[in-house]
Amino acid sequence: MNALIISAVLGVVMMFSGIVLKQNSAVRSVAFAGIIILLLVNSLEMCGTVLFKVDINNLIAFNRFTLVFNSIAFGATFIYLLLTAEDMEKVGKSYAEYFALVFFVLCGVVLVTSFKSLLILFLGIEIITIPLYILTGSDKRNLRSNEASLKYFLLGSFSTGIMLMGIALIYGHQGNFSTEGVSFLPEGVKPSVLLVAGMLLMLFAMAFKVSAVPFHFWTPDVYDGAPTVFTSFMATIVKAAVFIAFIRLFEDSFGALQSGWQFIVALIIAATLLVGNITAVFQQSVKRMLAYSSISQAGFMLFALFALNTVDAKEGIILYAAAYSLATIGIFAVLNKLGDYSYEGFNGLSKEQPLLAGTAVVFLLSLAGIPLTAGFLSKFYMLKAALGTGKYLWLVIFAVLMAAVSVYYYFRVIQAMYFKDSKAQVPVSASAYYKVGLVLVAFLIILLGVYPEVLLSWLYF
Amino acid sequence: MKNVLQIVYLIPLIPLIGFLINGLGRKYLSKTLIGLIGCGTVLASFILSIWVFIQVKEGNVHTAHYFNFISVGDLKIPFAFKIDQLSSLFLLIITGVGFLIHVYSTAYMHNEKTDHYGRYFSYLNLFIFSMLLLVMGANYVIMFIGWEGVGLCSYLLIGYWFKNTEYNKAANKAFIMNRIGDLAFLIAIFWIIVRVGGVNFDDVFAVAKGEVQNRRFTPADITIITMLLFIGATGKSAQIPLYTWLPDAMAGPTPVSALIHAATMVTAGIYMIARSNVLYSLSHTTMTVVAIVGLATALLAATIALKQNDIKKVLAYSTVSQLGFMFLALGSGAYVAAVFHVMTHAFFKALLFLGSGSVIHAMGGEQDIRNMGGLSKKLKTTYWTFLIGCIAIAGIPPLSGFFSKDAILISTFNLKFGIVFYVIAGLTALLTAYYMFRLLFVTFNGSFRGTEEQKHHLHESPIAMTLPLIVLAFLSVVGGLVGIPEVLKGNDLIGKFLSPVISPVKHAHDIAHSTEILLMIIISVLVLVVIGFAWARFKNYRHKEETGFGKVLENKWYVDELYEKIIVQPLHNFGGFLKNVIDTKVVDGLVNGAGRVINYGSRQLRLLQSGQVGIYVLLMIVGMVFFFVIQFFIRK
Amino acid sequence: MIPVLLIIIPLLAGVITFFFRNDKIVRSWGLLTSLVILALSVYGVSLSGDSSLLTAKADWLQSLGSSFFVRIDGVGKILTLLTAVSFPIIFTGTWNSQYKKPNSFYALMLLGQAGLMGVFVAADALLFYFFWELALIPMYFIASIWGGEKRIRVTFKFFIYTFIGSVLMLVGILILQSKTGNHSFSIQAFNSLQLTNKEQSWLFWLFFVAFAVKMPIFPFHTWQPDTYEQSPSAATMVMSGIMVKMGLLGVIRWVMPIMPGAFHSWGDVAMSMSVIGIVYASLIAIRQDDLKRLIAFSSIAHIGLMNMALFAENLSGVQGVMLQMFNHGINIIGLWIIVEIIERKTGSRRMSELGGLAQKAPSMAIFFVVIALANIALPLTNAFPGEFLMFNSLLTARTTQLYAILFTVFAGLGIILGAVYTLNMIRKTFYGETNAVTAVVSDLSINEKIALSVIVGLIIVIGIYPQFILDITNNFSETLANKRFIPQAIITK
Amino acid sequence: MVTQVLFWILSVWAIFSALMVITSKNPVYSVLWLISTFFAISGHYIMLNAQFLAIVNIIVYAGAIMVLFLFVIMLMNMNKESEPQKYKWLKMAGTVAGGCLLLVLVAALKDSDIRNQQALVNEGNIGLIKNLGKELFTTYVVPFEISSVLFLTAMVGAVVIGKKE
Amino acid sequence: MPVNYYIFLSLALFSIGIVGVLTRRNAIIIFMCIELMLNAVNLLLVAFSKMHHLKALAADAATTAGSDGQLFVFFIMVVAAAEVSVGLAIIVMMYRNVHSVDVNFLNRLKH
């Protein structure tokens, strides 16, 4: 609750800071202060101190899982700001507004991770997506940015329509919007078709938001077209939050129907892994490759949905959210510094910028799921959870084979950085903040890869 | 002094030390010192061997166990030596003849550079070591170690002049052909292990004799084991089909040919079979095969020898032929005769080779007898000793060859259709006499056909070379005396000596003594006739091109070419096929193909991302319909 | 404690190496570290099997059921010893090789050593998997940075290939873990599993493919010759000498005891693959002109034999493999050292361009001949007892008698073909007349002589008295061969 | 009976208008037909006694939002047939796919367990402003406040997008 | 009225909206079709709300059951309004740059 209110307030504060403060660096400082406050109040709530007593009528509920994820989201946002806040200046003039939107998105993130009512889910998702439409289009003179924004907007509102139809059907079945309407289904009773149809529509809509195949089409274009600084944000924190919402929704509302939708989820996972990984192979732009890779990573994250309700899935998705967010923010931050998004742009980076290259290697290894990085353990949790269900071994084998394919495109970047010589690089200017941020991210990735309890123990105590 | 048996390990060890000293110090030692070490170590072993022989003759046999070479579970393979009648006899031959050849070598190889000289002697010492290991080993594995060791030394010595590619190829050929046999030997060892659980001769023979409970060989086992061992022997002892390496092995220095490719190593197969006589006697099939292969080899090699012009090649084919004789004897069950022939053959063939070495030395490296002639005047010692060797090998009484060869010929009657074997063997013996005396006459008689320069250089070899010739000539003359058969009122010393190891053969088709003597006389007379014929033909040799059948013989029945065509080339081509087609196109092609499929898939799949919002929505709707259908109408 | 040190020392030393700048210091530091590890490893090997120093366990990833559990058992002793012996030899033998950025090179080498040690001592499946990947990555970097012209493509193929294998293994590990009672990854838990035949078959292939790729055996071998050819020699030595043993270790530790039924019932298939590989690789080796590729293919044949011997499921085979794993590592490193010297001095690896080196570099020729002969398992060299035991095991392999005989004979063809290509290699490279390429060659330098002398010394000593190696693993092998196969192998159809 | 007739009239009106929205070539006509649809739907609301929504629908949707649309269309000067008739197959496919979805949904929902349930028509007071307002400012006060955040974002968004660079 | 009628009516309108999204290329009209979809949902929600109200009335005459459905419609309208403002802003921005609102021109980003 703390974070929900504070983040909304911070959004407003940032709005006005743009008017009050003339210096971008000052705005930035306010934003940093804001995110730290957000982290603090969220930590307070984890310790049991709720600052605002609001009668929420069982529409929202915060539990450990939510709070831990929110901390991850805020932490990741902090790192994200650390690494990219300066570069946001390049996007456009509305510097303070970008931060305001980021905070509003965080407000939405809090909502979608804590909803107990489909209404809150709907509002939360809208609060997340509407700022994103804008951030995507924030590079106004850039036609690619315009195009991405419009595509995102059209497809996004379409999926909203789908989701609302789903909600309506569910409402028709249960008569309210609570997510606990069908917490259990008696043995042998066939679920109402209204409910099942509504559930499927919700599944499609959420699959759209997390960019699972075949609802992923917006992802590459939008990620590619959006300003890189914002791609980084929406591909990581937002996506992870929607995942949490996805899992929360299916756990609370449709957990009882698991055997009914598991097969479809399995198909979606397989398709997501296939399309995400295979298509990424041939990409010539690293940015676009990362867009496809985010699809493939989503395929892995969906295993948490597939397995649902197991400890492995819960811990795994938390770890995955952290690992994936950190690594992706990191690699986007590096990408952002290079003018050239093609693979050739990375050539010889290890000689020009050993620190950038070295940390980028850590990020890529983590994304590829190499041991002792957080990426490995998170994938490992996912596989373990999936195997724990005892079903669909083929899916797991397929997933690991696809993980091997993913090594192909991630390592192409490493090859470019380390094994190829550079053609005269544009000099890269990196501030101390930035470098510290990179090292911090790399360290966190390795820490989580070696000792994930650091994070996971927060789920229990 | 019984305790000499306690220090038998010194017999192989001393040459090994010689090998190490000469091998490591070849750059620092003088030639004299190298020669001294080389000869001295072998001499020391020889003296010990005599000593051992005396002990054995008194009936003291001994198995010395040093340490477990390999011990895995129940399988224990000790590093152990077995000193008995058979091995002590071979010790004598090896160290004795070996010593003489070492001495000979000091002079023969004197023109080599010091480090190569050292290398040569170290190889020779290593060979002696390996050969001693082979005969002293108390089990098949130690024997196999020696067996491969001598193969290695043979390889090293054939390729001693390593700048010459042809020589190196000959060395490779020798090693590889040996390896084919070695593989069979190895498999035989494994088979024995399966049945016996060990490889010690004593254990194996005990099982074969049925003296061990719970462990026995089936007849099939025996046949398989003995056949495999025999294949091993064909490799080492140059029998059909693996004989072609031996003539090529003449690329090595002549003393090496004398030692390794005539006197000792090539007889390892005979030693092994004689050692395993207990097993062989149990398998009639194998015995017959051995006899037939031996006889065929003897005949084939003899025919080839008829038309060879390289002095060493003639001797080489003669060796192959003589080895064939020995196998004939083994196949007939006359193990003693075979061993006896090993001994006499060691004397006269070493003599002949060293003699040829002396000739080559004198001719400045020339080996083609067509370019020789009339050497008897200049090389008196060589000539006379060579003549003795020829007489001995031709089998004229009372020289050594006569007795051993006769023992073999007579033994053929043990076989079914013995008379056929006898006739063919006899014919081969006649051929032997013919080609040996052709060699003698063409080389030493008539007029000199070489260059003026060679003529100018002709001289008798130094004492270090002629002395061994004389000693060996002497042995060739008297060597047969130890095996005079009872028919001739002899007492068959060698047969009696070996009887503890080799059980006397029961003559199945015993022939009357009178017949035996008659046959001896007939064959001796025929040999003399053949020699006379050779004298008539070759006393004034003039070279002329061979035609027709002669040409086939001169080209060794085209066996090498045949092997090349049906084995080497196809394998070579098959390897190329595997390398260029299967490995790169198929196996790697599949791997790369998987990558290519993914790449292709990637190129096609990304087209789905058409950039058109309408198509995106369409595909999403299609997906939704698809999932709805699955949920509601397929997986109800 | 010792296994932990074996991992930690090279790891830390490797990280430190990154910060050195002076070439000489880097090299000395690398050598020093490897010698320390050697001493430690020798001490570890000398301890009795139940010594507490050989085991270490610490909490780690408890929630997953894993722990940092390391243990040096019989096979671990052999392989840690091999690793510890190899690195000083490699460092000494390649002392003269020049690298740009030697600090990175040596650092990665040491990190690779840490990874390898980890693989060999890990007694927890997850830990094993970690090290399995970690050993790969430094080698991948070394090969890709310092390798030959086609290095990037070739080493990448190698990486992906082995990665695919290892992720399948990961699935296998996970399945096994889910079957254990207390959801543990420890090897004891795995060892005490009772699996049905069908499960075993699945698991067998999930694991075996990973190991087969690593070894490699036919038809998973195609990464290997290219990689060996393109990698810098030091990396090639590590890969061929030590890394391929990871596959064998995997079979010994993670397949044989855990899925004995499938191990038995798929034995014929695995052995067939190996035996085809032996003949196949040998025939291809005969046609190779490139020294590195020739040795690479010969290695495939050798490893194939080792794999066969494992699947023979008897003590002789297991012990033979134990011995031969060590020997093969030593021998092939020796060959690579000389090939590297030849390449450095002549600029060529093509046998058709070489020749006559024995005149220019007699010591090198002698070393090479001895090592090459060891490579073809000549008696009184180290490989003979190993190959003897392995061949011996084939004839009594737990399969039908006909298969056993066929396997023995065809594997035996490898001995003959091995002689063919090895002797040809010696002949074409060292014998004959010198030519323009080889005329400039000088003989070995002192460090190379030291390295090669050590190798030759080991070859001879083990060749004459192999028992001291066999004794190290004897108990382990007996347990493996007797306790696990016989009762469990019977449950198969 | 009257409600039946009314229902059918309103339904046919709504569907016809909706079809006209998607088939009209001129965007302005589309907007007008959409407004017509909204009126039909508002009629349904009134029939269902959801007076508040009916009013809001007319005022907000038909009145404000659609005028905004119309305004934008006018701004862009698109009051004529601007869409070239290419990509026929895509339209076909789209129609077929949409039809399939309808078919599948109808087929799935036609035997839902509530098919015999009635919706209360012309009665019930939950749709009255008083009741809804009470609910909105008690139970749903949090979402109500949250929707203000939504409007803030929309506002900021409009500023960001609309600001001259 | 049987609630089934409303369901089918809503589905029909919803599908018409979808078909419109699929077939039209003018971004504004696509957006309008999406609005049509939302209205279909609204109608359905109201119908369901009345249905649940009817059900609850049988037990309790003073119930407010079903009012949440109508409130949801209210929120949908709120969101739709916000969305329209942003969406039209984006469309206008696009139009300013390329002088077209045809979605087929949006093909710089593909593959």
C145-201 tens-digit pLDDT:
998 888 999 999 999 999 999 999 999 999 999 888 888 899 888 988 888 888 899
Chain C contact set for A415 (CB, 8 A): 144, 152, 156
With an 8 Å Cβ cutoff, are D100 and B625 in contact? yes
Tens of pLDDT, residue by residue over D52-107, are 999 999 998 888 899 899 989 888 887 665 555 667 888 899 999 999 999 999 98
Distance (Å) from the alpha carbon of B139 to chain C's nearest alpha carbon: 14
List CB contacts of B636: < 8 A, sequence separation 6 or more: none
Chain C contact set for A372 (CB, 8 A): 130, 134
List CB contacts of B397: < 8 A, sequence separation 6 or more: B403, B520, B524
Residues of chain B whose beta carbon is less than 8 angstroms from a beta carbon of chain D are 614-615, 617-618, 621-622, 624-625, 628-629, 632-633
Distance (Å) from the alpha carbon of E59 to chain B's nearest alpha carbon: 34
- How far, in Å, are A169, A213, B2, B499, B589 from residue B630 at the CA level? 19, 16, 96, 90, 38
- Band (pLDDT 50/70/90 cuts) for residue B504 is low
With an 8 Å Cβ cutoff, are B145 and C287 in contact? no
For the segment B572-598, the average pLDDT, to the nearest whole number, is 91
Number of Cβ within a 10 Å radius of residue B604: 12
Mutation for E interface: D3, D21, D57, D122, most E CBs within 10 A: D21
- Could you say which of C134, C151, C171 has the minimum Cβ distance to residue A371? C134
Instruction: Give the chains touching B; criterion: ≥3 Cβ pairs < 8 Å.
Output: A, C, D, E
Q: Which helix (H) or strand (E) holds B78?
A: strand B75-83
Please count the residue pairs, one from chain A and one from chain E, whose beta carbons lie less than 8 angstroms apart.
121
More confident residue, B272 or A339: B272
Q: E and A: touch, per 3+ CB pairs < 8 A?
A: yes
Tokens of A418: 């380390």
More confident residue, A122 or B309: A122
Mean pLDDT of chain B: 89
Distance (Å) from the alpha carbon of A166 to chain E's nearest alpha carbon: 9
User: How many CA atoms lie less than 13 Å away from B603 in the CB half-sphere?
Assistant: 5
Secondary structure percentages of chain D, helix, strand, coil, to 5: 75, 0, 25
Q: Is the pLDDT reported for residue E33 higher than 60?
A: yes
Asked if A27 and A17 count as a contact pair (C-beta separation under 8 A), the reply is yes
With an 8 Å Cβ cutoff, are A119 and D160 in contact? no
User: How many CA atoms lie less than 13 Å away from A405 in the CB half-sphere?
Assistant: 29
With an 8 Å Cβ cutoff, are E3 and A172 in contact? yes
Tens of pLDDT, residue by residue over B444-476, are 888 888 888 888 888 888 888 899 999 999 999
Tell me how many helices (H) and strands (E) chain B has.
Answer: 27, 2
Residue A449 is predicted with a pLDDT of 92
For the segment E76-102, the average pLDDT, to the nearest whole number, is 91
- Band (pLDDT 50/70/90 cuts) for residue B505 is low
Burial class (CB in 10 A: 0-12, 13-18, 19+), A15: buried
Residue A395 is predicted with a pLDDT of 94
Strand partners, E102: E26
Search chain C and give the residue with CA nearest B68. Answer: C467
Residue A116 is predicted with a pLDDT of 92
- Could you say which of B148, B168, B588 has the minimum Cβ distance to residue C432? B168
With an 8 Å Cβ cutoff, are A155 and B613 in contact? yes
Answer whether D126 touches A (CB < 8 Å): no
Chain D contact set for B633 (CB, 8 A): 107
Q: How far is CA A49 from the centre of its chain?
A: 27
With an 8 Å Cβ cutoff, are A263 and B635 in contact? yes
Tens of pLDDT, residue by residue over B167-179, are 999 999 999 999 9
Q: Which helix (H) or strand (E) holds A230?
A: helix A228-233
Chain E contact set for A167 (CB, 8 A): 41, 72
Residue C64 is predicted with a pLDDT of 84
Per-residue confidence in pLDDT tens, chain C, 493 aa: 899 999 999 999 999 999 998 899 999 999 999 999 999 999 999 988 788 889 999 988 888 888 999 999 889 999 999 999 999 999 999 998 888 889 999 999 999 999 999 999 999 999 999 999 989 999 999 999 998 888 999 999 999 999 999 999 999 999 999 888 888 899 888 988 888 888 899 899 999 999 999 999 989 999 999 999 999 999 999 999 999 999 999 999 999 889 988 888 899 999 999 999 999 999 999 999 999 999 999 999 999 999 999 998 888 999 999 999 999 999 999 999 999 999 988 988 899 998 889 888 989 999 999 999 999 999 999 999 999 999 999 988 888 888 999 999 999 999 999 999 999 999 999 998 888 888 888 889 999 999 999 999 999 999 999 999 999 998 889 888 876 554 433 333 2
Answer whether A208 touches B (CB < 8 Å): yes
State the Cα angle at B404 between B400 and B405, rounded to 5°: 110
- Side chain identity, residue C345: K
Mean pLDDT by 10 residues, chain A (461 residues): 91 91 91 95 89 85 92 95 91 90 95 94 95 93 92 95 95 89 68 90 95 93 94 94 94 86 94 95 93 95 90 92 95 88 88 90 94 92 90 92 93 91 72 91 95 89 69
Residue B507 is predicted with a pLDDT of 58
Query: For B545, which DSSP code?
Result: -
Mutation for D interface: B616, B625, B626, most D CBs within 10 A: B625
For the segment E57-74, the average pLDDT, to the nearest whole number, is 88
- How far, in Å, are A286, A402, B179, B582 from residue B598 at the CA level? 18, 11, 47, 22
Mutation for E interface: A126, A150, A275, most E CBs within 10 A: A150
For the segment B190-200, the average pLDDT, to the nearest whole number, is 90
List CB contacts of C196: < 8 A, sequence separation 6 or more: none
Q: Is the pLDDT reported for residue B102 higher than 90?
A: yes
Chain E contact set for B617 (CB, 8 A): 18, 21-22
- Could you say which of D111, D150, D152 has the minimum Cβ distance to residue A123? D150
- How far, in Å, are B23, C470, D28, E93, E95 from residue D78 at the CA level? 101, 90, 8, 16, 11
Residue A184 is predicted with a pLDDT of 64
Residue C488 is predicted with a pLDDT of 37
The whole-model pTM stands at 0.91
Chain B contact set for A151 (CB, 8 A): 613, 616
Residue C485 is predicted with a pLDDT of 53
3-state secondary structure of A182: coil
With an 8 Å Cβ cutoff, are C160 and A408 in contact? yes
Q: Which helix (H) or strand (E) holds B341?
A: helix B335-362
DSSP string, A93-142: S-HHHHHHHHHHHHHHHHHHHHBSBHHHHHHHHHHHHHHHHHHHT-STT-
